[in-house]
Structure 1
């Protein structure tokens, strides 16, 4: 998807938020994102997460063993070593090179700034906060997945942040699920479809965004209704002004450097309308093409 988007864009940053690193070999990710960055230098973001990102049976199929995420910090260090070709002397991978590497087209094979993707640490756990701060990397906090305390998380990240060669000061992003619509009732129905998709995943069914009428007619059990109600509250929905007010409150509480919208809904038109309404509210432009 990122490779396709590179061919369709010229200026905006493109990224994956994210790659659940325990599901992959770090060398493989280094080569994939090194190639993407070679095609769009300085425009690629690489978000790195620790959770399985799926149910445990699927995680086992991906990871082959159940303790894959126990050494996430080591996996991140290994990935950064491949991306920057700077393993210390004596490291077992000292002479293993990701291709394309940071030295490609650089005289004397000396890495230069901007020749690697920008790495972000993702999550909402104390572990990921400590790791992002220790590595001096930007941190992305995902509110669409849980009800963790974003205010305390970002404060802890800023307090513990250690400057690095890529980031002098802490830089944090908060993401959350949103549906904006001209009709607030329709926005609520569309948010419910996203909750149903999560419920289906919990039930070991496919993650599918069903039509709102099908979700409304679903004979949910008491426990299932509870799950749906939780996600109704978690995904911000309403008119453009209502959603924007929630975004303003989130900024006031967290002072996040960026707020990312994870658009929800059962159709592309619903996603597009969300973006249009928020853009109009903040006078960022009104047209959304592709």
Structure 2
């Protein structure tokens, strides 16, 4: 098994996911400036794509509308793929999402990804405020189908939405008699279970598996996806991505301290407190019970942390276990500087992009 103790080319594509994490004492405008900076750094260092996620009513995650920040990032970048990882589709009308991502695709042709998930991205009370019913997840496959039809403008004759068209989109191009600059956003299915693997395989779409939330069975999910994959116009063969929380630092102990701030945010969420990123010093002095200590230790380990060679070893071991095509680094830690340092150190380790 590779130890990745020496630098070299990564045996997989590398990407970045930013939750616009905002620690206690950090101004939100400064945090958004940090997101823009991280996207620019990711492009400069040769990462493949930069995604943002959807969360609601969480003071530690300011991405209630990744679409809005992606619109800003289309002007700040020129080559890296930009996307939502993901849009929690049961929170939205499919037509609205088709229109919004049609606009993003028009702003950055051939660079937009649309990752679709079914979790609420928040707590039950906020899910209710989003007008999300208890059976929202049950309708996810039909919502995805509806969205894909809006994006492709291919509702069958007699369908209630036959004459409803997402603009911008293919219909507008035909009506205006102009050639399309792209085939639309690349649509992904997100998840962490056999359910999402089956759906992605059935639809012939790329599949992204979220490991940052828990120790789910990624190997089985990928096996199900690959064995059941049906080629589509969007994708000829299976394509997989794994996302996981990462903190890289020159000092392994400091990387662990920063990862523990994210672990504490998870603990607070489990206790029905706000998902807030507390300062590492405050986390270290917290008088945890035995059960709380176990949760903190679990998530600190789950968020891959250490020096760049140590983190790279973990990434390569994950690749060997899963044969994943792409790994997405979910930046963790109590400051934007730590997030930036993580992607710089990993890029340095794999000699990616410029290092100016």
- TM-score, normalised to structure 1, is 0.94
CA distance in structure 2 between the partners assigned to 1:89 and 1:222 by the alignment: 62
User: C-alpha deviations, 1:197-236, integer Å up to 9, x for none?
Assistant: 1222223332222110011112223332222122112101
Structure 2 counterpart of 1:82 = 150
Structure 1 counterpart of 2:95 = 27
Structure of higher RCO (CA pairs closer than 8 Å, 6+ residues apart): 2
Per the TM alignment, residue 94 of structure 1 is displaced from its structure 2 partner at its CA by 1.1
Structure 2 counterpart of 1:234 = 302
User: C-alpha deviations, 1:165-219, integer Å up to 9, x for none?
Assistant: 1101011101111101111100000000011112222233322221100111122
Structure 2 counterpart of 1:197 = 265
Per the TM alignment, residue 112 of structure 1 is displaced from its structure 2 partner at its CA by 5.3
Alignment of structure 1 residues 101-180 onto 2, 5 Å: 101-106=169-174, 114-180=182-248
Structure 1 counterpart of 2:126 = 58
Per the TM alignment, residue 286 of structure 1 is displaced from its structure 2 partner at its CA by 5.5
Alignment of structure 1 residues 252-267 onto 2, 5 Å: 252-267=320-335
CA distance in structure 2 between the partners assigned to 1:113 and 1:170 by the alignment: 25
Classify the secondary structure of the residue corresponding to 1:120.
strand
Structure 2 counterpart of 1:36 = 104
Classify the secondary structure of the residue corresponding to 1:244.
helix
Q: 1:113 to 1:89 in 2, by over 3 A?
A: farther
Pick one of 85, 89, 101 that aligns with 1:17: 85
Structure 2 counterpart of 1:225 = 293
Q: Which moved more, 1:73-82 or 1:52-61?
A: 52-61
- TM-score, normalised to structure 2, is 0.77
C-alpha contact 1:174 1:259 (8 A) present in aligned 2: yes
User: C-alpha deviations, 1:11-48, integer Å up to 9, x for none?
Assistant: 11000100010111111111111110011111000000
C-alpha contact 1:141 1:173 (8 A) present in aligned 2: yes
Structure 2 counterpart of 1:209 = 277
Q: Which moved more, 1:57-66 or 1:173-182?
A: 57-66
Classify the secondary structure of the residue corresponding to 1:137.
coil
C-alpha contact 2:253 2:306 (8 A) present in aligned 1: yes
Q: Which runs of 5+ in 2 are unaligned?
A: 1-68
Per the TM alignment, residue 113 of structure 1 is displaced from its structure 2 partner at its CA by 7.8
The alignment's C-alpha RMSD in Å is 1.7
CA distance in structure 2 between the partners assigned to 1:200 and 1:64 by the alignment: 24
Q: Which runs of 5+ in 1 are unaligned?
A: none
Q: 1:107 to 1:93 in 2, by over 3 A?
A: closer
1:181 partnered with 2:249: yes
Pick one of 160, 165, 168 that aligns with 1:92: 160
CA distance in structure 2 between the partners assigned to 1:150 and 1:202 by the alignment: 23
